Each structure stands twice: as structure tokens, then as C-alpha cells.
Amino acid sequence: MPKRDYSLTGASTKRALEIGLATADWYHSDISRKEIKALMKRHNGPAIWHTMLYYGLMFAFVATAIALWPSLWSAPLWLAYGVLYASGADSRWHECGHGTAFKTQWMNNVVYQVACFCLLRNPTIWRWSHARHHTDTIIVGRDPEIITMRPPDIAKVIALFFGWDSIQSFFKVFRYAISGVNADEATFIPEQERFKVKVVAQIWLLIFAATLVTAVTIGSMLPFLVLFGPVIFGSWHYVLTGLLQHTGMADNVIDHRLNSRTVYMNPVSRFVYWNMNYHVEHHMFPMIPYHRLPELHARIKHDLPEPNRSIPEALAEVFHALRVQLGNPEYRIQKALPETARPYRYDLHAEALGLTAAH
């Protein structure tokens, strides 16, 4: 297979366009239009309840942590606050970006904007980045959200657990405020949307400045700890769950059963993650709200690979794949489809993977 070029303007981009991987017709499990419409129906109730509980817990943890500061008794509360702040923001950014969490769109927009700030993800960049991710999922040269490239950079993977993604985003805020988008970002953001990138970045710089002034005025690092500390000590959960989404699976295929992973998770992680552990199902039908994904899973699981039974089991699979890919970048996890599943366009998969149709 040709060497992967992960830029969005290079050789891999040209190849994806040439062989039909870009904006392709993806596989979908059979399910009636009536059932899909019923599952897509949105309601405010579940998301309002979850959001009130989520922000209520965040406030309780951080208020108690501040009250106990600087005692070591505050440490567990800071850690709990950090997981909700950073990892919870990741899933709420995601679902509200799809516009499916709430029926009322301004509610989706408010939670989306807050979550973007928590993670320092420019809301315009990431709205369009994620749209491309769903159009060309793990297509090299097209998908801007590929976490682990091949061969993998293990040091980067480790750094992600300590907020490296948000640290990089912090410095990007200055670029966005001054010069706007770069060449790669311009490939997926419409020209008429790009001014929003600068406007939001400039507003965020004012918030940074206000935080600094407040910290100096009161003579305490608490303002920084409350607003920016959580991405350092709370990102580990969303990185952990994010690695399970696609890492080690096939790239350059147009079947989400081959490039995505569904994992059964504990209730706490599912609350923080907003059911994105049903990731194959989400990619097949991205407009179905998070609280209906378990129903969708039950309806189409006969057509999907067997899910990983737990986070530890899935992580073991991921880390094995990363270790093998250090020496063999073409290694990918091949999950067996059940006998009841339908194959789909193996000819294109074979060409994309550099195999022969008889392989």
C-alpha cells in the first residue's frame, strides 16, 4: 500500500478521490424507513435531565474542592470535576454538534458552545471537521479526526491522556484569532463560515486575559485550575474511550463495521460518554439521538461484529494493534461478521487496502 499522507491536501487525498473512497456510498444495515424515523425522533426530556445532573455534579465537585483547597482532601474532588469537565464536555460537544441531544436547537447550541470552550475546540472548526469525519470516516487524506496514524506515535498517544489535544488547541486559538484557518482546515470549512473562527478565537482571548487578571488580583491559581486545569487531569477518560472508537481497525474502507468498534461499558462511563460506546451504530445512523442508540444496537446487532465486552478488553485489543503497527503499519483488526451479516463491496475494500480480491 502507498505510504499514508495524513494531510488533507496531499497524495492520499488525491488517491481517495481517484478510487472512490471520498464521499462514498457507505454500507448501512437493513432497517425500515419507518423504524429509522421513529428512532430519529428527538425529545428534550432525556437531555435536559442528563444535562442538569451533569452540570449539578460538576458544580458540587468544584465548589467542594475550592472549599477544601489547598488541602489534599480536595484532590479526589478535583479529579472527579476534571473528568466531568473535560471528558463529559467531549461527548456533549459531539452529540450537541450533531444537533440530536435536544429537540430544541438553541439548547443544543448552548451546550455545544460551552463544551467547545471547555476543550478549547473552536466551534466552527470542529463542527465542519466532524461533518467530514462522518462523510469520510478514517479515510486517509480526507478525515481530519484520525487520532492514531500509522505507524503510531506512541509518545503522542500517551501525551493525549494528559490533555495534549487541548494544550495544542490553546496555542491554535492565537493563530485562529490572528490569521484564521490553515490550508488543511480550508478544505472542509465553507468560505462563508471562516470568519466565525476568528471571532470566537478573539472572544476566547479576552476570557484568557480576564482569567489572568482575576488570578493576579486575588493572588491565587484557582481561576486557572477551575477553567483550564481539568483538561490536564480530566482528559484521560475521553482519550481512553476515544481510542476505542476506531484505533486498530481498518482505514480506507466504506463499511463502519470494519473501521469502528462498539464496546459494552459500565453505567458511569456511559453517562460521561453519552452512549457513544455504540460507535458502529452511531456512524451508520448519526442522526439518531444518543439515548436511542441501545435500541438501535438491539435492532441491528445481527449484522454487526460482536462488541467488545468491556473497556479493559477493548483496550487490550487497541494496545496490541498499536504495538504491532509499530513494525507493520498495514496491520488491522479484522472482526468476524456473524453469519447473518451481509458483506458489502469487498472489491473496493480490497483495492483500498492494497489486497487482491482473492485475499
Which pLDDT tens digit goes with each residue over 101-149?
999 999 999 999 999 999 999 999 999 999 999 999 999 999 999 999 9
349, pLDDT greater than 70: no
At what angle are helices 123-135 and 105-119 packed, to 10 degrees?
100
Domain boundaries, the chain: 11-353
CA distance between the termini of the chain? 14
pLDDT at residue 343, as a whole number: 80
| pTM (2 d.p.) | 0.93
pLDDT tens-digit readout, 292-345? 999 999 999 999 999 999 999 999 999 999 999 999 999 999 898 999 998 876
- 337, 257 Cβ separation under 8 angstroms: yes
CA distances from 336 to 28, 302, 330, 339 (A): 17, 12, 18, 9
Looking at the chain, the whole-number percentage of residues with pLDDT higher than 70 is 95
pLDDT at 241: 96
Look at residue 286 in the predicted model and tell me its pLDDT: 97
Per-residue pLDDT, 342: 85
**The predicted structure's pLDDT at residue 356:** 39
CA pair distance 355, 336, nearest whole angstrom: 18
Whether the Cβ atoms of residue 134 and residue 286 lie closer than 8 Å to each other: yes
Kindly tell me if the per-residue pLDDT of 260 is higher than 50: yes
pLDDT confidence of residue 347: 61
Average pLDDT over residues 223-241: 96
Give which of 303, 234, 244 is closest to 276, Cα–Cα. 244
> What is the arithmetic mean of pLDDT over 21-45?
94
Average pLDDT of the chain? 94
Amino acid at 122: N
Residue 3 has pLDDT above 90, yes or no: no
pLDDT at 355 over 50: no
Of 205, 155, 217, give the one whose Cα is nearest residue 176.
Answer: 205
Question: Does 205 score more than 90 pLDDT?
Answer: yes
In this predicted structure, the answer to whether residue 358 has a pLDDT above a threshold of 50 is no
